[in-house]
Amino acid sequence: MSARKAVTVEEFPYSFEGVEVVEASAVVRKTGDGLSEEMHFAPFVVHKGERRYLVLDVECTDVGHPWKDKKDHGEGAVRRHIFDAGTGLFLDDDIIREAVERQNKRIADFREEERLRKEREKGVFTFTDIAEDEDDGSDPF
């Protein structure tokens, strides 16, 4: 397996064959194989509604660049990673909880930034926006 430089969030958007790539997505296939093996040699019961944490060993087997909006190509493309799952294992809550909570916070923060960005594009500004403008020493008016 060769090591490649990862494209970081700061490097998005980038161009692929003349098309702006504006976001990334993932598809994970073959997830049942490794999990079935683990549950075969170390069986346990999971009840309906119970939450478990699962770690998958995955290999990126393909990368595609479909349009973000199939009808309107003006929004650019998505870098879609196709992963095939290998080994899967369930981890105890106390081992992974902190990492999951950090990731959930990052996702919530991102969604809030996206919501605010879309509002600003529509001309909707909040008191926080005005306060931030005042903090930077610029005149908002």
- Range of weakest confidence among 9-13, 40-44, 56-60, 117-121: 9-13
* Burial bucket for residue 108 (CB in 10 Å: 0-12, 13-18, 19+): exposed
Average pLDDT over residues 40-52: 87
89 close to 54: Cβ distance less than 8 angstroms = yes
19 close to 65: Cβ distance less than 8 angstroms = yes
Q: What pLDDT score does 129 carry?
A: 56
Q: Give residue 42's identity as a one-letter amino acid code.
A: A
Higher pLDDT, 58 or 89: 58
pTM metric for this prediction: 0.64
Average pLDDT over residues 49-62: 91
Using the predicted structure, report yes or no on whether residue 47 has a pLDDT greater than 90: yes
Residues whose CB is less than 8 angstroms from the CB of residue 29 and which lie 6 or more positions away in sequence, other chains included? 82, 83, 84, 85
Task: Return the closest-CA partner of residue 91 out of 22, 37, 19, 38.
Answer: 38
- Range of weakest confidence among 4-18, 42-56, 96-110: 4-18
Q: What pLDDT score does 1 carry?
A: 46
Using the predicted structure, report yes or no on whether residue 4 has a pLDDT greater than 60: no
How many C-beta atoms surround the C-beta of residue 56 within 10 A? 16
Q: Which helix (H) or strand (E) holds 75?
A: none
Q: What pLDDT score does 84 carry?
A: 93
Phi, psi of 79 (to 5 degrees): -80, 105
Q: Across 30-72, where does the E strand assignment appear?
A: 53-64
Average pLDDT over residues 75-85: 91
Phi, psi of 19 (to 5 degrees): -110, 135
Banded model confidence at residue 134, pLDDT cuts 50, 70, 90: low
